Structure 1
């Protein structure tokens, strides 16, 4: 559930800026903070867990321990965490590229976790509760990007 906390931090940061008044400005600001705060924190947290505490994370999710794929996922998460920080200095085209890169990762992960629940009856906390952020984060980024553009 830490992912949802990161997502909410991005929203709260926007709400704390009372000078933004138009829908486009609000959505652009929300998008910025979701990219910079939510993706950065999510990426770093995912990296630390999947790389340095792989077996503990595997047990929490209900998956087999010792898979090197967790470390690969961890490094991918570090990559999008770094991309989140770079959104501070990069323009909207970069923001869109980051959204395009992370959305299939998050939505694909949600599908994998859902299949794991249906096929293997894996309802462990780490497998089931991650569905919400795996869907909310990319869908909110996509929505905010389109609202901010039009």
Structure 2
């Protein structure tokens, strides 16, 4: 599941964003698609991935560590709690957050997930650790997810406000 869950959350984010954009006001606009994509990236890759990682590191630490190719560690509780905060913040930002709130979620996610991605890269280089939780899709989504949030916020700022539904 460690291999598939990041891919599933991204597929859901893109699929639901396209569906909600298609169901939205017509004529279709790029601003609506960007808004929906941002919203559902916050729901699925940020929100649900954060909650999923929280549960894995806090409630199933041995399995979570094994999936990354590591031994269990007391630090997993801290990692899990950080994931919990990011996950909840992503869900709040999806439906209640202002652009500034969403940017803050993106920055925190970039610091934490981007830092984790750098750690995974170091492990791959130094130890050859190609475990699914270290070198699989999670490695790429650790960078893609926060950069997508921040990039879409920038595009949203350039495009201007979303037409009211």
Instruction: State the TM-score, normalized to the length of structure 2.
Output: 0.85
Bigger mean CA offset, 50-59 vs 131-140:
131-140
Aligned to 1:148: 156
String of CA shifts for 1:57-84, please: whole Å, max 9, x gaps: 111111122x111110000000011112
Query: Paired residue for 1:95, among 98, 102, 105?
Result: 102
Deviating 4+ runs (over 6 angstroms):
none
* Corresponding residue SS for 1:16: helix
Q: Distance in 1 between matches of 2:101 and 2:5?
A: 26
Aligned to 2:85: 79
Aligned to 1:39: 46
Query: Paired residue for 1:132, among 110, 128, 140?
Result: 140
String of CA shifts for 1:81-135, please: whole Å, max 9, x gaps: 1112211122211111111111111111111001101101111222110211112
- TM-align CA RMSD: 1.3
Q: Distance in 2 between matches of 1:36 and 1:124?
A: 26
Are 2:35 and 1:28 aligned? Answer: yes
Are 2:120 and 1:117 aligned? Answer: no
Q: CA deviation at 1:24?
A: 2.3
Instruction: State the TM-score, normalized to the length of structure 1.
Output: 0.93
